[in-house]
Amino acid sequence: QRPAAALEVRGLTVHYGHIEAVRGIDMALEPGGITALVGANGAGKSTTLLALSGLLPKVSGSVIFEGEDITRLAPHQIVARGIVQVPEGRAILTTMTVRENLELGAYRRGNSGTPKDFDYVFALFPRLKERLDGVAGNLSGGEQQMLAIARALMAKPRLLLLDEPSMGLAPIVVQEIFRALRSINADGLTLFLVEQNVRQALKIAQRGYVLENGSMALSGSGKELLNHPRVLQAYLGV
Ligand code: ATP
């Protein structure tokens, strides 16, 4: 077992043409921890994630993963380092079965997943086991999110990036997803969580960052931020 992964972001700036969507942000993800990046719609959260995965061309600043500068690596090289993203809107393959989606997740490791891998995700999400041979498009929104997370886990990531896993889900399903994330983290996986659900995200995160209009407005422990007057007022409606 290698030590848990850590990621450091320094002065990350991202442009879309002339638009500066992310402006010189700094972040440090603690190995084995849960770090949350929160902010309103359009703040630049997804842009930050896409940049970390190497999916955006015009990026400056640096991204250091376990001591290695990965800023200029291609997406497949970043995945090969063990950084795996669960994209916004889940992006599962809806015409394929749950099993096939999971098998594809293991592709990076050159196989279609061991029985142990399947058992691990079934323990986390028993409903996927029940629906294993059903078409993924017939799953509920919450089940599709579970599948997206499970598929990413099949790749045996060292760092899991999640883009708004709670989006569009009922509160009770959100609780279920967050419980699973806690459990995955307790098993040693480093998580980076991008969320508009500020309360839930900061509750499970040891460290949080608040992005506003592309700039880092605040950072602190999850607890500190949950009690920060600006967070209370702007994001928690208190
Ligand atoms: P959301 O919750 O909607 O995903 P976000 O915080 O993730 O919001 P981003 O999607 O990163 O925000 O968008 C940040 C800014 O960049 C926004 O002003 C958005 O309009 C702009 N933007 C995003 N994608 C593009 C693009 N492909 N081309 C031009 N501008 C873009």
Q: Specify which residues 14 forms β-bridges with.
A: 22, 59
Distance 50 CA to ligand 1 centre (A): 11
Distance 19 CA to ligand 1 centre (A): 10
Nearest-CA residue for atom 2 of ligand 1: 41
Whether the pLDDT of residue 57 is over 90: the answer is: no
Residue closest to 146 by CA, chosen among 162, 68, 191:
162
Q: Return mean pLDDT, the chain.
A: 93
Distance 126 CA to ligand 1 centre (A): 35
Q: CA distances (Å), 70 to each of 84, 130, 171, 234, 238, in order?
A: 14, 39, 36, 34, 40
Distance 44 CA to ligand 1 centre (A): 6
Would strands 159-163 and 34-38 be described as parallel, antiparallel, or unpaired?
Answer: unpaired
Ligand 1 pocket residues where CB is under 6 Å? 16, 19, 21, 39, 41-47, 196
pLDDT confidence of residue 56? 92
Closest ligand 1 atom number to CA of residue 46: 7
- Tokens standing for 198? 């500020």
pLDDT confidence of residue 131? 95
pLDDT confidence of residue 111? 77
Distance CA 234, CA 208 (A): 15
Looking at 5-14, 62-71, 103-112, 171-180, which range is the least confident one? 103-112
**What percent of the chain lies above the pLDDT cut of 90?**
86
pLDDT confidence of residue 3? 57
Distance 42 CA to ligand 1 centre (A): 5
pTM, two decimals, is 0.93
pLDDT confidence of residue 1? 47
At 5-23, the pLDDT tens digits run 699 999 999 999 999 999 9
Whether 83 and 161 have beta carbons less than 8 Å apart is answered as yes
Looking at 100-109, 149-158, 177-186, 206-215, which range is the least confident one? 100-109
Distance 87 CA to ligand 1 centre (A): 14
Whether the pLDDT of residue 2 is over 70: the answer is: no
- Tokens standing for 215? 């700039």
**Residue from 16, 193, 197 to probe ligand 1 pocket by mutation (most atoms less than 8 Å from CB):** 16
pLDDT band at 227 (very low <50, low <70, confident <90, very high): very high
Closest ligand 1 atom number to CA of residue 47: 11
At 109-145, the pLDDT tens digits run 777 778 899 999 999 999 999 999 999 999 999 999 9
Q: What are phi and psi of 149, to 5 degrees?
A: -70, -45
Nearest-CA residue for atom 30 of ligand 1: 16
Looking at 35-39, 88-92, 151-155, 177-181, which range is the least confident one? 88-92
Whether the pLDDT of residue 4 is over 80: the answer is: no
Distance 72 CA to ligand 1 centre (A): 21
What's the order of all strands across the beta sheet hosting 68-69? 19-29, 7-16, 59-65, 68-69
Residues near 11 by Cβ (< 8 Å), separated by ≥ 6?
24, 25, 26, 60, 61, 62
Would strands 207-212 and 215-221 be described as parallel, antiparallel, or unpaired?
Answer: antiparallel
pLDDT confidence of residue 5? 66
